[in-house]
Amino acid sequence: MSTHDLAQTTPATRSRASLHRWRLWRQYAAFVALAGPNVALLVVFTYKPLVESFRYSTLQWNIGSPTARFVGLDNYVQFFSSPTTAQVLTTTAVFTVTTVGGALVAGLGLALLLNQRLLGRGIARTLSFAPYVLSGIAVGILWLYIFDPRYGLLGTVLGWVGVSSPDWYNTSPWALIMIIIVYLWKHIGYVALIYLAGLQAIPQEVRDAAALDGAGRWRTLRSIVLPLLGPTTFFLLVTTLLASLQSFDLIHAMTQGGPLGSTTTLMYQIYQESFVNGRAGYASAVATVLFVLLLVVTLIQLKFVEKKVHY
């Protein structure tokens, strides 16, 4: 190799390298221009508030006022020692477990039904999914009318089977039960729909093979269909759990947390404490508790079903 060769190649590669670097920087700039706004908005309106919420939780503070007093962990101490907390946590747990569990079980049942070749299946699919797209406020008010003890539809229907309608709005377990029923009415169609998509992704050959091996409907369901629906169930568990813990519209339209706080969930308490009772610091502590709770539940779920989910 001669010096002549070196003299020729070195400047060429150098300029190619700098050209390459320049291109790369241009692409970085393009990346920032295209992804930047979305990421910046997420940081400003999700991550920053998340951190701020922790800070607020150490304050005694009314949301409208400019003054706030640092109280350390007092809000948390208050939260965990307050007698209403037990009620709120119980209500949240009951609401979450029944809505998530109920929607998953009934939704799966509905999906299996809608997957059969039955007359009118298309109409049933459309109708059962329709409530999901409706405004929670509208649904809540519509059902308040249906539950109306004197002029409501439900009282009349219950009367046919000889049951008198309880005073849904004003008595303790019934108000929560009422909201759970409406929540399920609104959300079952969504769960059924996702399960239906999952069911249709199961190859027919797998079922045929099971049938050839002599598996009946029940056996096929338990040993073939349900395990194959694992990832779908996991997805639904996460999404319905988040949706349930966040639900605000129905409670606000139907009971506003009453009677006597019996329909106040953690989410609703955050709203009430900050925007009704003027205790934004305390509400931030509740929000932090809710967030930690969600994180723990999600991590546990991920740990359990990690291997079954492939994004």
Contacting another protein within 214-243 (CB under 8 A): 214-217, 220-221, 231-232, 235-236, 238-239, 242
24 binds another protein (CB under 8 A): yes
Residues 267-296 that bind another protein (CB under 8 A): 267, 270-271, 274-275, 280, 283-284, 287-288, 290-291, 294-295
305 binds another protein (CB under 8 A): no
- Give the helix ranges, DSSP H, for the chain: 3-42, 48-56, 74-81, 83-114, 121-129, 136-147, 153-160, 172-200, 204-212, 217-220, 226-228, 230-246, 249-254, 266-271, 280-305
Candidates 168, 192, 166; CA nearest to 180 is: 168
306 binds another protein (CB under 8 A): no
Considering beta carbons, is residue 88 or 267 the nearer one to another protein? 267
Q: For residue 281, give both structure tokens.
A: 């610091």
- Angle 210-115-95 from CA coordinates, rounded to 5°: 105
Considering beta carbons, is residue 198 or 257 the nearer one to another protein? 198
Interface segment toward another protein; rule CB under 8 A; list 7-15, 73-81, 86-94, 148-156: 148-156
173 binds another protein (CB under 8 A): no
Could you say which of 110, 176, 179, 180 contacts another protein (CB under 8 A)? 110
In angstroms, what is the minimal distance from the CB of 29 to another protein?
A: 10
Candidates 300, 253, 291; CA nearest to 270 is: 291
27 binds another protein (CB under 8 A): yes
156 binds another protein (CB under 8 A): yes
Indicate the helix (H) or strand (E) that contains 70.
strand 68-70
The label of the residue with tokens 């670097």 reads: 21
Considering beta carbons, is residue 105 or 130 the nearer one to another protein? 130
Interface segment toward another protein; rule CB under 8 A; list 7-15, 70-78, 95-103, 122-130: 122-130
In angstroms, what is the minimal distance from the CB of 50 to another protein?
A: 6
- Bridge partners (DSSP) of residue 60 are 69
Residues 34-93 that bind another protein (CB under 8 A): 34-35, 37-39, 41-43, 45-50, 52-53, 56, 63
Could you say which of 87, 89, 129, 230 contacts another protein (CB under 8 A)? 129
Interface segment toward another protein; rule CB under 8 A; list 13-21, 71-79, 83-91, 118-126: 118-126
d(CA 142, CA 170): 17
- Give the helix ranges, DSSP H, for 72-82: 74-81
d(CA 112, CA 37): 43
134 binds another protein (CB under 8 A): yes
Q: Is the bond preceding residue 227 a cis peptide, omega within 30 degrees?
A: no
177 binds another protein (CB under 8 A): no
d(CA 64, CA 62): 6
